[in-house]
Structure formats: C-alpha cells, structure tokens
Structure 1
Amino acid sequence: MDNSLIDVYRAADYRVRLTRGGWACIRVDAALPSSLQEMIGRHSWAFITAWNPHSQKQPRAQNHAAQHALLSALRGLLQTVDIRLGIGVGGHWRETSFFVIGPDLAAIDELAQQFRQNAYVHGLGNGYARLRLASDRPPHGQAG
C-alpha cells in the first residue's frame, strides 16, 4: 500500500450516526467528539467497513452483501457492546461503515483481514483516534 492511500485514509471523515439524530465526526489523530466519549466509556472501539476490499471499487450489490456479513460477524463477537451506523467520507468516495464498541484490536484485525480491508480507525476510551493498517500485505500495524 502506498503512502498516498494512507494519506487519503488519514484525511477522511469517519461519521457515526447518533441515537438522537445527527452525526459525530471522527478524525484520525484527534480526540473523539464528546458525544462518542459518553457512549464508549473505557471500552475499545473501531470504525470499520467491508466496502471496496483493498480500496478497489466493487459493485454496490457485492458491497452490500459484504457489509451485511460484517455486521453479522460484529454481532457474533462476545466483546461487542454496541454497533452504530457510520459512513466514511473522503475526497471522491463514501463507504457505509460501522462504529463498534467493545472488541479488541486482535478481533478487529481478524475481521479487517477477512473482509480484505487495508486499514481501519480505532481507539481506546476517550483516547485519540488512530489509523491501523490491517492488510495482509506490508506495512502492518499502527500507521505512523
């Protein structure tokens, strides 16, 4: 994965649908909005999608099927506390996503690789949002 793609991920808005309407926006390397901090408490969290594996555009029907499979997998994790609808928005792209509270990095890494995602955004409690490279191809781990 090249640095320009990592830069695109870093610059994106990761929006989470709030219970009472509206959206909270997560930005990489920034603190979470207070509306999300209240929901999370001390739990780990992640913002992940199954759309467009390896950042390669896929047909809408294929993306929807993959997203439903990801939702089922997230619901099946014993650590999952809550799942919210999300949307990732970049310069010329939008991807339906999920904001999941509870699962640890190992569980989300596994799902990201299963659904062939290059990266996802994650954090712990009210700490900063971080970009994690999850592809089975180098580089791996925390994006610097």
Structure 2
Amino acid sequence: MAHKHIPATVDATRRLLAAYLAARYEVRGPDGTFLLRPGQMAPAGLAEVLPGECWTVITAWNPGSQVCTRAESRHADAALQSELDGLGLRRLPTLASDADGNWPEPGWLVANLPATGADALARRFGQAAVLHWRAGEPVGLRMYLTPPDGVADLGGPVEWIAAKS
C-alpha cells in the first residue's frame, strides 16, 4: 500500500487535530450504534459487544486526509481488512464524520490491537490519526503528525506519536 502525503503544515495539523477531536465516531453494533468521543469513556456495553483489553478505531479511507475516489478507498479498506483478518482480530464496522455528517469515512473498531500495531497499520495505510484506548481508560487520539508548538503540552486525549519518514 503506497503511503500518501499527509499535510505537515502547522495550520493543516491544527485543523486536522480540531476536526478529529470534534468528529463523530459511530460503532455499528449488532443491536445499535455506539458513539465514541476522544477524551470520554467508551459507552457502557461496547466491551460486551466486542470484548477486549484495548480497542482501536482505524480506517483506510482518504489517506493523508486527502479525498480519494470511492473505488480507491474501498480497495484500501479491503487491504486493511485482509491485514486484520491475517492478525486474527475481531472487529465491528465504524463510520466517522464531522458533526454534520460530512466527510464520512467507514472504518473498523478492532479489539486487542496493541498501540504499536495500531501505529504500524495507521502508517501503512497513510492515516494521520487513530483512536486507541485500554479498558478503564478514556478514548484516546493518537496523532502521527508533528505537533505544532504548544499543542503537545496541552494534555488531554491526544498522544503525539513521533513521525517516521
């Protein structure tokens, strides 16, 4: 899978961070939808539907936060699913969008994918961020961009993962 360019300007990174923090992350369970928010605890019952010690929300759509065709994104998603299948990981479908439902990106809530594995898949599929958290902890946002000055020290649900070339 080719790595697409992720915008690296300070303004672009700030906009992406704000968008990811404000986004709606819906998990499609067998009996309904669960809404995830960075910095908040996962909804009660989600761990019963998809048991695990940790969870990751990841997508292969729109690498680098650049719009791709549906065909390109579906192809990338099929490759991501193949990787998840190869790892034997259970998952549920997700749909991430902005607060108004724009910029929809299907993805996956994956159980028991360690943070290092999530980081590797996110980079392989050109993603600027994933959600990741452990049982009993709030939902976290892992960003794979260089943090703008002052942003990395704000704390909260964001973890800045060192960019690798």
Q: 1:123 is paired with a residue of what secondary structure? A: strand
Residue type of the alignment partner of 1:29: G
Does 1:108 find its partner at 2:118?
yes
For residue 94 of structure 1, what is the aligned residue in structure 2?
A: 104
Identity within the alignment, %: 31
Q: 2:83 is paired with a residue of what secondary structure? A: helix
**Cα offset, 1:69, TM superposition:** 0.5
Partners of 2:64 and 2:35 in 1: CA distance: 23
Q: 1:34 is paired with a residue of what secondary structure? A: coil
Residue type of the alignment partner of 1:7: A
1:22-57 alpha-carbon deviations (Å, 9 max, x no partner): 210000100100121324555111000000001000
For residue 58 of structure 2, what is the aligned residue in structure 1?
A: 48
- 1:1-144 aligned within 5 A: 1=8, 2-20=13-31, 22-41=32-51, 43-78=53-88, 80=89, 82-91=90-99, 92-134=102-144, 137-139=145-147, 142-143=159-160
Contact 1:41 1:126 in 2 (8 A): no
**Cα offset, 1:72, TM superposition:** 0.8
Partners of 1:25 and 1:125 in 2: CA distance: 16
Q: TM-score, normalised by structure 2?
A: 0.77
- Structure 2 unaligned spans of 5+: 1-7, 153-157, 161-165
Q: TM-score, normalised by structure 1?
A: 0.88
Q: Structure 1 runs of 4+ off > 6 angstroms? A: none
Partners of 2:159 and 2:50 in 1: CA distance: 21
Partners of 1:41 and 1:63 in 2: CA distance: 28
Alignment: residue pair count: 138
Q: 2:146 is paired with a residue of what secondary structure? A: coil
For residue 3 of structure 2, what is the aligned residue in structure 1?
A: none
Contact 2:57 2:110 in 1 (8 A): yes
Q: 1:66 is paired with a residue of what secondary structure? A: helix
**Cα offset, 1:119, TM superposition:** 0.2
- Structure 1 unaligned spans of 5+: none
Q: 2:108 is paired with a residue of what secondary structure? A: strand
Partners of 1:117 and 1:70 in 2: CA distance: 12
Contact 1:13 1:88 in 2 (8 A): yes
